[in-house]
Every structure is written in C-alpha cells, then in structure tokens.
Amino acid sequence: MKQQPTNHDLTRCAWANSHPLLQQYHDEEWGVPVHDDSLLFMYLLMESMSCGLSWLLMLKKKEIFRTCFANFDYKVVATFSTDDIDQILSTEGMIHSERKVKAMVENARAFCQVRKEYGSFDAYIWSFTKGKSKQYASHQQHPCVRNTLSDHVAKDLKKRGFKYVGTIIIYSFLQAIGIINDHEHTCFRYSKD
C-alpha cells in the first residue's frame, strides 16, 4: 500500500518553508479562489494592514484582527466610531497605527459601497478577470510583486476610496484570493488549470 506524503514531505513554494504558520497558510488557503465577501474583506484587511510589515506577522495577529474588527464583518466595521478606533488601538497585541486602523474603517465603508453597486464585492473583484484565475508563465522564471492587473485593480480601488491598496499590496491580495495563481511549478499546489 502506497503511503501518503506527510506535510513535511511536500514540495511547496519556497517562501512557505520558513515557518509552520506560513506552511499552513500556503497549503490550505493561498491561491484558493475566494468568492465569499466576508473572506474577501478579511484578506483585504489583512493585506492592507501588512503594508510595511511581514505576512507572517499578519498571520500571527489574525485572531487579534478578528476580535478588533468584528469577526471581519464589513457592515459592522463600516459603522465604527472614534471610540471604537480608540478601543482597537488599546487592544493588547494590536498594531498601533491609528492611520491604518482608521483606513480599515474607511475601507469597510468603501467595501459596502462596492457591494451596493455590484451586488457583491466578489462580483466586482472577479470582474477584472471575467471570473477566471490567471496564471502567468513568466512569473515562474521572474517572480514579481506587481503587474498590470494589480496596477489596474489598485487604481480602481483608490478611486473608490480604499486606503493602503497600492499595487504591491493588491498583487498579494489577488494571489491570496486565487485571482492570480503564482504557485511555483514544483509546488504540490501548482496546477496548469
């Protein structure tokens, strides 16, 4: 009987090998197409909060974010007042950037506006690729941190009032939610589809 490979035997994207949280995120979440607005808001919030910080730190603080930002409920976050922001900033373990926390509240409001216009954030974000995941063969030889798609999406989000959504952050967001499939061709999660 053939033995199934263990988590340690798997060949994965190089960036995921340095920490167990990164491995778990890579193996279970990264690049899996996301169509649930609550999850899309969670990833957008975490990517925006990561500006200037590591993704590993974001994963370590995910449950703190969940607590501070109403279980990633964009409708609730959109109603946050200055008192709510002050409470978030006083939370132990939270990233203490008033500008970022205020921006997340503004992003929740912009997120709700997009939902009003498109029916869902999912319909909006996936419209940039007509509902398809994109795989760029050139990224296998030359990994990148942005491209014309992330430039376009970032520009549109900024126009709609989103903050901390530069092209590099948005490229990472698009990877996270499966719009861009950037698994290395040697990775067990790589798919030619």
Q: Tens digit of pLDDT for each residue in 124-178?
A: 999 999 999 998 765 566 668 899 999 999 999 999 999 999 999 999 999 999 9
Measured CA to CA in angstroms, residue 151 lies from 5, 87, 142 at distances of 39, 34, 18
Positions marked catalytic: 25, 47, 55
- Evaluate if residue 90 carries a pLDDT over 70: yes
pTM equals 0.92
Who has greater pLDDT, 101 or 140?
Answer: 101
Burial per residue of 109-143, b for 16 or more beta-carbon CB atoms within 10 angstroms, e otherwise: ebbbebbeeeeebbebbbebeeeebebeeebeeee
What is the model's pLDDT at position 141?
Answer: 60
The verdict on whether residue 26 carries a ligand-binding annotation is yes
pLDDT at 9: 64
Is 51 marked within a binding site? no
Determine if residue 152 is labeled as part of a ligand binding site.
no
Q: Name which of 53, 159, 40 is nearest 97 in CA terms.
A: 53
Tell me what pLDDT residue 3 has. Answer: 41
Q: Which residues of 74-99 are buried (b: 16+ CB within 10 A; e: fewer)?
A: beebbebeeebbeebbeeeebbebee
Question: Which letter does DSSP use for residue 14 in this model?
Answer: G
**The one-letter amino acid at 56:** L
Three-state SS at 138: helix
Confidence bin at 31 (pLDDT 50/70/90): very high
The DSSP bridge partners found for residue 134 are 180
Q: Hey, which residues does 87 pair with through a beta bridge?
A: none
pLDDT for 130 equals 97
In the chain, what are the domains?
A: 32-177 (1.10.340.30)
CB 164 within 8 A of CB 100: yes
Q: What's residue 1's pLDDT?
A: 46
pLDDT at 44: 98
> Looking at residue 47, what is its pLDDT?
97
φ/ψ of residue 2, rounded to 5 = -75, 135
Q: What is the mean pLDDT of residues 108-122?
A: 98
Distance, CA of 129 to CA of 121 (rounded, Å): 14
Q: Is 185 annotated as a binding residue?
A: no
Q: How confident is the prediction for the chain on average, in pLDDT? A: 92
By percentage, how much of the chain surpasses pLDDT 70? 91
